[in-house]
Amino acid sequence: MSGNYENSFHYFILLLHVIGGIVSLIKALIALFARKGGTLHKKSGLIYFWSMFIIFLTALILVIFFKFRFFLFAISIFSFFMAFTGYRALKRKKPNEVEWFDKVVAYIGVLSGLGLIGYGIWSIVKHNSYGFASICLVFGFLLTANAYKDIKHFKKKEYEKMWWWFHHLNMMCASFISAVTAFLVNRIYTIIDLGDYNFIFWLLPTFIMVPLMNKWNRYYKKKFKM
């Protein structure tokens, strides 16, 4: 990171951000392949969650105090929202068992998602940038849809069997996808540069991993006889 920071505090925040990213990727892989509900899965998942919190916090510090970029600001909210709501699902066996901070995070998620969508549309109109706009629109739609789904869940009194299991699975996987995406786009351009088509790398983890998420959903629904 030499030469990419303004002072020692900036360097320290960047270092924390990188360490959080490395730890989150390692612990996510362990949690994914460990026995679900086992000690290794639980401990790895908990470390993953707090690593994502560190990434989120350091990203906010970087964009607010050093170089503000709305896109990075919104993406950091996207990443943490998915991890947060996935983690909270384990504490909320009933959808309407919510705390005030569950609602705050959900509404911030909706606003950030709509902001990303608007930013994508603005990029098309202002700069004719369809590649970058597609990234904003995809992540914006996913964030808005999932945050709004949480808000609707807060009011539910009837709910599907094991809803919290699938919510935890899907949100944690989505959070992992965002972590992989961040790691990929930070490194891949030094190896492969597609020019105007570099936006593909932002979307590639989503297109690869979402079908795997759907496969896991079908497997567990069959296992739970749903």
Q: Mind listing the pLDDT tens digit of every residue in the chain (226 residues)?
A: 545 677 889 899 989 998 998 999 999 999 988 988 899 999 999 999 999 999 999 988 988 888 777 667 777 888 899 999 999 998 887 777 889 999 999 999 999 899 989 988 998 998 887 777 888 898 899 999 999 988 988 887 777 878 889 999 999 999 998 888 888 877 776 778 777 777 788 888 888 999 999 998 898 888 887 7
Structure confidence at residue 127 (pLDDT) = 81
Structure confidence at residue 2 (pLDDT) = 46
**CA–CA distances in Å: residue 196 to residues 152, 158, 190:** 39, 48, 15
Structure confidence at residue 145 (pLDDT) = 94
Structure confidence at residue 4 (pLDDT) = 66
Structure confidence at residue 139 (pLDDT) = 87
